[in-house]
Amino acid sequence: MAQYPQWSYSQSRANMFDECLRKYYFHYYAAHNGWNDRLGSPEQVHAYRLKQLRNFYLLFGDLAHRMCESALRQLNDGKQAPRPEFLSQTMRQLLNDAYVQSKDRDAWLRNPKQHMMLSEVYYGDDTLTSRISTIRERQQECVRHLYATRTWQEVSQPGMNILEIEKWDHLILFDTKVYVKMDLLYRRPDHNVVIVDWKTGREDDFSDQLYLYASYVQEKYNLPLDQIVIRVEYLVTGDHQEYSVTREDIDRVERNIGSYIQEMKSCLDDDYYNRPKPETFFTPMPSARKCRDCNFREMCTPV
C-alpha cells in the first residue's frame, strides 16, 4: 500500500485548490489509505469517510449525467431510447434511495464507499427541504429537455458516429497525467467532431477544461482545430452554446494548467513521492457559503 497518493491533475483538483487549501489537503492527502481502517490512521479513516459524503446538488448532477449516458448508449446500440417518464421515475427513485440510505449511519461507517450518505443528512443541515424542492423542479426540466436538445436531434440522425461517452482518458502535460472525461464526443457527416458538455446548473457555467478536451481530441483523432466544435447543453433551460477552438485558447489553458501544477507542487515536501507538507501549511480559506457545504467541516479549525 503506497504511503502517498499518485500525482495527477484534473480540473476538479484545480477547482478545490482554488476553493480552500485545507479542504484540498483533506481530500487529496489526509484521506489517502483511509479506506482500510486497520492500516490507516484514525485521521485517515475519518477523512476518507467525509470525502465520500455527497450533497444533494452534486448527486443530482451525477444522476443527470447518468441519465444522458444511459439514453445515448441505448441509442448507440440501436435500441429505443428510454421514455421520459421512465427516466424521470428512475431519477426520482435514486434520489429517494440516497435519502433513505443516508438514515443508516452505521452502514455508512462500515462501508462509506458503497453506502450513500448525503452531507445535508450527516450534518443535519436546515437546507435539505429547500434543496429537495429545487432538485425536483430541475429534474423535471432536465428530463423534458434532453430529447429536444440540439445534440440529441443530431446524434439521432443517420450518419452520425458516436466516438466516446463518459470515457476516462488522459494526456501528458508538464510530465503530469492530466485526466479528461468528455460527456459525449461524436462525428458528423461533414467530418467535424462535437464535444458535448451537459450542464444542470447556471448558464454561465463554462469551464476552460473544454479547451483541454479539444486539445486531447486534436491529438488523439489527428484533427485540425477548425473541425472541432464545443457545445454546452443547459438541460434545465433547454438552451445551448457553441464555441470554436483556436490555438491561442489551447495554449492559454495549457499555460494555466502548468501554473497550477507548479503551485500544487510547491505544497509538497517531496514531489517524487507526492509527499505533502504538514497540514498546517494548507491554510483554511473560510467563507460562510463554502464552509457550510464543506464535507470536512467537522475536521477543520479555520483560523
Three cell numbers written together for 91? 431519477
pLDDT for residue 37:
81
Residue 113 CA, chain-centre distance (Å), reads 17
**Which residue numbers in the chain have pLDDT < 70?**
1, 203-206, 302-303
Cβ(27)–Cβ(16) below 8 Å: yes
pLDDT for residue 111:
94
**How far apart are the C-alpha atoms of 208 and 213, rounded to whole Å?**
9
Three cell numbers written together for 200? 444542470
pLDDT for residue 138:
93
The model's pTM: 0.93
Three cell numbers written together for 77? 446500440
- The Cα-based distances of 223 to 38, 60, 207, 265 in angstroms read 50, 34, 22, 33
**How far apart are the C-alpha atoms of 282 and 63, rounded to whole Å?**
32
Q: Residue 294: CB partners within 8 Å, gap ≥ 6?
A: 20, 23, 300
Q: Residue 4: CB partners within 8 Å, gap ≥ 6?
A: 29, 32, 273, 274, 275, 276
pLDDT for residue 205:
60
**How far apart are the C-alpha atoms of 57 and 18, rounded to whole Å?**
20
pLDDT for residue 284:
94
Three cell numbers written together for 273? 513521492
- Provide the 3-class DSSP secondary structure of residue 149: coil
**How far apart are the C-alpha atoms of 13 and 6, rounded to whole Å?**
13
- Provide the 3-class DSSP secondary structure of residue 205: coil
**How far apart are the C-alpha atoms of 53 and 237, rounded to whole Å?**
28
pLDDT for residue 2:
83
Q: How many CB atoms lie within 10 A of CB 294?
A: 26
- Provide the 3-class DSSP secondary structure of residue 239: strand
Q: How many residues does the chain have?
A: 303
Quick: pLDDT tens for 131-184. Answer: 999 999 999 999 999 999 999 999 999 999 999 999 999 999 999 999 999 999
Cβ(192)–Cβ(227) below 8 Å: yes
Residues 185, 215, 198, 125, Cα dihedral to 10°: 140
Residue with cell 440522425: 157
CB-count exposure of residue 163 (10 Å: 0-12, 13-18, 19+): middle
**How far apart are the C-alpha atoms of 115 and 100, rounded to whole Å?**
11
- The Cα-based distances of 168 to 177, 216, 235, 251 in angstroms read 12, 12, 22, 22
pLDDT for residue 38:
82
